[in-house]
A and B are shown apart, each in its own frame.
Chain A
Amino acid sequence: MNNNKYLKYLLPVAYLIPLLFVQVVFVPFISIETIIPDLILILVVHTAVKHGQIPGTLFGFGAGLIFDLVTGNMLASSALAKTLAGFTAGYFSTNRIDINLGSYRFIFIIVLAAFINSSTFALVTNFDLNNNFLKLIFEQGITPALYTGFVSAIWVFTIPKKQGDWLK
């Protein structure tokens, strides 16, 4: 019983590794200018909604840190952004996870979390008082969030769901 409990928390970690490769090797091919969807964020949000706020926050931090290490970003910049995104997404974790995971609500949560993720990252890495913050947030916060939301919409509406699976 206990093993199963830990196993369910390890499952997102197992998904994370191949997703990291997909994110850095294949996702750039679908970039629009420099905007790409953030698949790792989708996994972080899914974990937060499914398992709760604390696992989501911790997973966001870990996933972001690994991402920073392998891509040469400023260390912990993605970790901070994904921690906040995971924490925010955790507010949508309820016992009835089918409501949030299998519907358009999931897309809304993704867009919200992606906006927090992208804006935080942009503010941390590009902090300059000479910058126009509204423009920065619009260009680097909203547009990647919408693209990530669009990709999550494909996932939500194309993966067939067995009735009642989420209710178990």
Chain B
Amino acid sequence: MNQFFIALLRSFKAYLILIALVIASFMLMSISEHESTQRLRSLALSTFSQVSGIFGYVNFISDMRSENEKLRRRNAELMLENNQLREFGLENRELRDMLAFEDTSSYDLIAAEVIAKSFLADQINFTINRGAADSVKPGMPVISQTGLVGIVYTTSDKYSIVRTYKNVNLKLIVKLLNSGTPGILKWNGTELVMQGIPKTLQIQKGERIVTSEVSSLIGINIPVGEVARILNPESGLFNDLLLTPLADLNSTDNIFVMRMIQSKKVDNYELNYLNTK
């Protein structure tokens, strides 16, 4: 009997190993967001980024870096300011006061360099050279001089991983700037779309999309993209919009983390949205 099993094991050894590894993969997937996994990820990220950071520096001309950084910072600040001015022009000031909107006239930006990019089929993540030691925290918005890049996903002491908007796991509440109509921003693997727009709404091509104040992850208006076209005008209860993103991830090397202080409530509860698929 034993010999039979041994012979069976030998015959199907490769298949058994495959099944064991597939099961192990699914088990590991289920603990992907577990605290101990995050610690392990943080350790791996820290070690890996130290070396990849050295490689990353090869890509920059060191003398021009600081000047570039200043200009990009100024650009990013102007982009945010410009966006805010648009907002002011469209929204009723009195209503804003009544709603006790926070004065967001200045933002604290942490300049960072992208030292590694992970391009996979339906998710692009960046590794940046700023981490917990620079007061970068998970959930902080990441922008370039043109618009939203993504959200800090996890941090180690000196490095962080950014989930970009081209990541199927990142969903954000955004709104049409002109009408204020909210929708859900989602990367469906190939296109950036805004879902849940009422059929009756008149939408102009090129209308700007910004993150919404009601988002638990990004509570201010950051430009994300522009409407390219309506995806399903003749079917379904809602329209989906195809967006042209403002920030080009392929050419993005310098980014800014917005040092936004998360409320205790956000830290404790709402960031769970970031950590679930």
**Residues of A bordering B, CB below 8 Å:** 20-21, 24-28, 31, 33-36, 53-54, 57-58, 61, 65-66, 69-80, 83-84, 87, 90, 118, 121-122, 124-126, 128, 131, 135-136, 139-141, 144
Partner of A31, one of B56, B59, B119, B125: B119
Q: A-facing mask of B1-27, CB < 8 A → 1, else 0?
A: 000000000000110011001101111
Given A21-B55, A31-B119, does the pair A76, B24 have CB atoms closer than 8 Å? yes
Q: Are B44 and A70 in contact (CB under 8 A)?
A: yes
Contacts of A20 in B (CB 8 A): 48
**CB within 8 Å of A: which of B79-93?**
none
Give me 22 A-to-B residue pairs in the complex whose CB atoms sit less than 8 angstroms apart, sorted by A's number: A21-B55, A25-B115, A25-B117, A28-B117, A31-B250, A57-B17, A61-B21, A61-B24, A69-B41, A70-B49, A72-B125, A72-B127, A74-B29, A75-B31, A76-B26, A77-B29, A83-B22, A121-B121, A122-B121, A125-B122, A125-B169, A140-B122
Q: Are A75 and B51 in contact (CB under 8 A)?
A: no
Contacts of A21 in B (CB 8 A): 48, 51-52, 55
Given A54-B13, A72-B163, does the pair A25, B56 have CB atoms closer than 8 Å? yes
Q: Give min CB distance, B242 to chain A, whole Å.
A: 14
Q: Are A25 and B116 in contact (CB under 8 A)?
A: yes
> B201 near A: Cβ within 8 Å?
no
Q: Are A72 and B124 in contact (CB under 8 A)?
A: no
Contacts of A80 in B (CB 8 A): 21-22, 25-26, 29
Contacts of A65 in B (CB 8 A): 28
Contacts of B189 in A (CB 8 A): 122, 126, 131, 136, 139-140
Q: Are A118 and B116 in contact (CB under 8 A)?
A: no
**CB within 8 Å of A: which of B91-141?**
115-125, 127
Q: Are A26 and B118 in contact (CB under 8 A)?
A: no
Given A34-B166, A72-B45, A126-B168, does the pair A78, B55 have CB atoms closer than 8 Å? no
Q: Are A73 and B118 in contact (CB under 8 A)?
A: yes
Given A25-B116, A69-B40, A139-B189, does the pair A54, B14 have CB atoms closer than 8 Å? yes
Given A21-B55, A80-B22, A140-B189, does the pair A70, B121 have CB atoms closer than 8 Å? no
Interface residues on B, range: 35 or more
Contacts of A141 in B (CB 8 A): 121
Contacts of A78 in B (CB 8 A): 120
Q: Give min CB distance, A1 to chain B, whole Å.
A: 23
